[in-house]
Amino acid sequence: MVIGSLNMDLVVNVEDFPKQGETVLASDTLFVPGGKGANQALAISLLGGQVSMIGRVGQDAFGRALKENLQKNNVDVTYTYIDERRNSGLAFISVGKNGDNRIIVSPGANSLLSPEDIEALEEVIAKAKGVVLQLEIPLATVERAVEIASKHNVKVFLDPAPAQVLSRSLLSKVDFIFPNENEAMELTGVEIYDLETAKTAAAKLLEMGCQQVLLKLGAKGVLFARENYYHHFPGFEVEVVDTTAAGDAFCAGFVLSYLEHQELAGAITYANAAGALTSTRLGAQSSLPTREEVLNLLDKCKKRVVLK
């Protein structure tokens, strides 16, 4: 079960990001279905999982397209509601020549997903193997979802983006948290520039109440941390085109592999491969890999994990 955001991404390529007061020319605009929640739901489906999406879109062309795109890719959209009060969420994404990106999100209907919506779906959530959340919906809604999932012993996976202050009560109920370097710095105040400083940030997250941390380090891979244990998993060497949704693919790959097998090392390796493949293509949902593509990359790199 994914509870989160659905956005239409407006993507442009630029040679250089504009400085304050500067105008730059970009390529044609691409309209690509996105939103961290929808990205993760679609990624789980493409990787072979059964997944439902809880969220809200506007009663507009973007909203219809976002919902239809998930549905045609075998994501259950029974609980993806169309809301007349706000337009669909939008993300404005500029992609640089090295594949780095800058993103501005206008939440739209995502901001109307309420704690009451989640409470009404308690019986549905209780039947899930895992619940995946991000922070592009109201924090009160995230908190209520975590409470309900924890109450029913459903595994909770949190992608803390965009970063904001999170309570110990919330963090202590999350089984796995997936910050990238910037989000970890925002959460902990620790500047990350190498593995040692990443370890310091991860340790701080554990002190703040997190149970298990997967700190995403981009091309450098992932640092896994839990009490008194740290391990670095290197990334895959690929030609980067656009890093948009790479973190979402990582999250989806880990969640699915872990829930299938309860085996950490294999799940992290699988997730690293999913994230790496996503960064080789332009866009969000259009760049997400299939199960077969991930397995092919693992085989090519002689990194095998056990999968059904």
Rounded Cα distance between 302 and 40, Å, is 26
Comparing 21-30, 75-84, 150-159, the range with the smallest average pLDDT is 21-30
Both tokens assigned to 142: 């995230």
Q: Is the pLDDT of residue 306 over 60?
A: no
Distances from the Cα of 222 to the Cα of 40, 103, 254, 287, 294, angstroms: 18, 22, 12, 20, 17
Q: Is the pLDDT of residue 283 over 80?
A: no
pLDDT at 8: 95
Catalytic residue among 60, 242, 248, 299: 248
Give percent of the chain above pLDDT 90: 81
Mean pLDDT of 64-90: 97
- Any residues with CB less than 8 A from the CB of 14 and at least 6 apart, and which? 24, 25, 26, 27, 94, 95, 96, 97
Q: Is the pLDDT of residue 304 over 80?
A: no
- 169 exposure class (CB count in 10 Å sphere: 0-12, 13-18, 19+): exposed
Half-sphere exposure of 307 (CA within 13 A, CB side): 23
pLDDT at 221: 93
Convert the pLDDT of each residue in 135-148 to its tens digit. 999 999 999 999 99
pLDDT at 308: 40
Instruction: State yes or no: is 248 an active-site residue.
Output: yes
More reliable by pLDDT, 93 or 158: 158
Convert the pLDDT of each residue in 187-230 to its tens digit. 999 999 999 999 999 999 999 999 999 999 988 999 999 998 99
Rounded Cα distance between 246 and 237, Å, is 14
More reliable by pLDDT, 49 or 241: 49
